[in-house]
């Protein structure tokens, strides 16, 4: 019984729950970024590069020429799909950009909370001493 009790307490620690939450949020964020890349960024990149689909860029290692990646794979040729690497790098840069934007917005919101108006400063020591001196003079 001790093992399961220890295991349960391990799973319910704040760090593990926070990690699990981060993984779930990360997965959802990945879908958002994936959609942004596939549906927004890559069509723009495609226009800029003249309609190039990076995922179809490959080198056949058997020395033959193939029209498409599918044709090379169907022929059983070993292929180096460098286009997938280019696509992964583009995705990485865009994910980094999205995370940067989210963190900047988060930092900005934290600064606003920290920059709450400070309570008015009280009188200085000199002002208090002068007030006491004036009170003593009146007596």
- CATH label of the domain that carries residue 42: 1.10.1200
Torsion of CA 51, 56, 61, 62, to 10 degrees: -90
- Residue 19 forms part of a structural domain: yes
How many domains does the structure of the chain reveal?
1
0.85 exceeded by the pTM? no
The tokens for 74 are 């169907």
Q: Which residue has the tokens 């226009």?
A: 47
Rounded distance, CA 71 to CA 24, Å?
38
Residue 108 CA neighbour count, 13 Å, CB half? 6
> 123: left (phi > 0), else alpha (psi -120 to 50), else beta?
beta
- Residue 46 forms part of a structural domain: yes
pLDDT tens string, the chain, 139 residues long: the values are 688 888 888 777 778 778 888 899 888 888 887 888 788 887 887 888 887 778 888 999 998 999 889 999 999 999 999 988 988 888 788 878 888 888 899 898 887 766 667 677 788 888 888 888 888 888 7
The tokens for 14 are 């704040």
**Could you tell me the residue range of the domain that residue 79 belongs to?**
2-116
- Residue 136 forms part of a structural domain: no
Q: Where are the alpha helices (DSSP H) in 1-139?
A: 2-11, 14-36, 42-48, 69-74, 82-114, 125-138
- Residue 37 forms part of a structural domain: yes
- Residue 139 forms part of a structural domain: no
- Residue 130 forms part of a structural domain: no
């Amino acid at each position: 019984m001790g093992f399961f009790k220890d295991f349960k307490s391990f799973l319910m620690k704040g760090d593990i729950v926070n990690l699990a939450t981060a993984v779930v949020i990360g997965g959802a964020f990945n879908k958002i970024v994936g959609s942004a890349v596939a549906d927004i960024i890559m069509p723009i990149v495609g226009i800029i590069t003249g309609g190039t689909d990076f995922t179809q860029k490959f080198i056949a290692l058997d020395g033959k020429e193939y029209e498409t990646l599918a044709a090379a794979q169907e022929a059983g040729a070993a292929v180096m799909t460098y286009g997938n690497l280019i696509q992964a790098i583009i995705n990485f840069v865009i994910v980094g950009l999205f995370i940067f934007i989210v963190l900047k917005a988060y930092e900005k919101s934290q600064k606003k909370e920290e920059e709450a108006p400070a309570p008015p400063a009280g009188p200085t020591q000199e002002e208090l001493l002068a007030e006491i001196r004036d009170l003593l003079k009146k007596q």
